[in-house]
Amino acid sequence: GNSVTQMEGPVTLSEEAFLTINCTYTATGYPSLFWYVQYPGEGLQLLLKATKADDKGSNKGFEATYRKETTSFHLEKGSVQVSDSAVYFCALMDSSYKLIFGSGTRLLVRP
């Protein structure tokens, strides 16, 4: 079945460090891919998305590229801030419009 695997956390970085959170997927067909973010005490928010191979989603300095050949959608940011501390979820949307999430990666950015 369809599934998403992302790196375990927590990921702890100093402010202005480079961030990579790995995400790989297993799916039939060509799913749309997403990154959601969950700030403490808040609901999930869509961070970025890509709907076809080689698409790059970007938002708030975060980027991820849909790599069909490696079935990956890694999240990157060049310079993290303390305010980026949150839990990040990679997800795919299957052919029945169901979102399938990874287990989440907690990011902690220290000043």
Partner 1 sequence: EAGVVQSPRYKIIEKKQPVAFWCNPISGHNTLYWYLQNLGQGPELLIRYENEEAVDDSQLPKDRFSAERLKGVDSTLKIQPAELGDSAVYLCASSSNPLVTYNEQFFGPGTRLTVL
Among residues 2, 97, 86, the alpha carbon closest in space to that of 75 is found at 86
Cβ proximity to partner 1, 77 vs 104, nearer residue: 104
How near is the Cβ of 88 to partner 1 at its closest, in Å? 10
- Based on its alpha-carbon atoms, the radius of gyration of the chain, rounded to whole angstroms, reads 13
Among residues 76, 75, 86, the alpha carbon closest in space to that of 109 is found at 86
How near is the Cβ of 81 to partner 1 at its closest, in Å? 23
- Using CA atoms, how far residue 5 sits from 62, 73, 101, in Å, is 19, 10, 8
| Footprint of partner 1 (CB under 8 A) | 4, 32, 36, 41-46, 49, 51, 89, 91, 93, 96-99, 101-104
Cβ proximity to partner 1, 23 vs 109, nearer residue: 23
How near is the Cβ of 66 to partner 1 at its closest, in Å? 12
Do 55 and 65 meet the contact criterion of CB atoms below 8 Å apart?
A: yes
Cβ proximity to partner 1, 96 vs 111, nearer residue: 96
